[in-house]
Amino acid sequence: KAGVTQTPRYLIKTRGQQVTLSCSPISGHRSVSWYQQTPGQGLQFLFEYFSETQRNKGNFPGRFSGRQFSNSRSEMNVSTLELGDSALYLCASSLSWTGNNSPLHFGNGTRLTVT
């Protein structure tokens, strides 16, 4: 079974631009969660989608948004990029929503650098 696939692997953007990251979950998984990983802040929860609905959202500004499609694939968007948005963005999929004690399976992330 193929794992979680995130594209692209690396991205360089300029301050003020916007970016879209893509995540394909493991086949059959209906939940997709997004995390931001930085050396100083660790893994910070962005949001979770289950059956195309946002179930939960972390403490990030409205510039961070996401969506999930009917095939469970998900995208996250960051608008008006800031230098502090430079991070590894991780997507994780699970069979059910995380409140159901469902393990997360992570992709290898998209490394975003904002200059």
Partner 1 sequence: GENVEQHPSTLSVQEGDSAVIKCTYSDSASNYFPWYKQELGKGPQLIIDIRSNVGEKKDQRIAVTLNKTAKHFSLHITETQPEDSAVYFCAASEEDMRFGAGTRLTVKP
Residues of this chain that interact with partner 1 (CB under 8 A) are 4, 33, 35, 42-43, 45, 48, 55-56, 58-59, 90, 92, 98-99, 101, 103-109
Beta carbon nearer to partner 1, 79 or 96: 96
To partner 1, the closest distance from the beta carbon of 58 in angstroms equals: 8
**Which residues, listed in sequence order, are joined to residue 106 by a DSSP beta bridge?**
92
Which CB, 13 or 45, lies closer to partner 1?
A: 45
Distance CA 63, CA 94 (A): 25
User: In the complex, what is the shortest distance from the CB of residue 103 to partner 1, in angstroms, rounded to a whole number?
Assistant: 5
Whether residue 2 contacts residue 65, with contact meaning beta carbons closer than 8 Å, is answered with: no
To partner 1, the closest distance from the beta carbon of 54 in angstroms equals 11
Report d(CA 92, CA 43) in Å as an integer.
12
C-beta of 4 vs 114, nearer to partner 1: 4
DSSP labels, 33-67:
EEEEEETTTEEEEEEEEETTEEEEE-S--TTEEEE
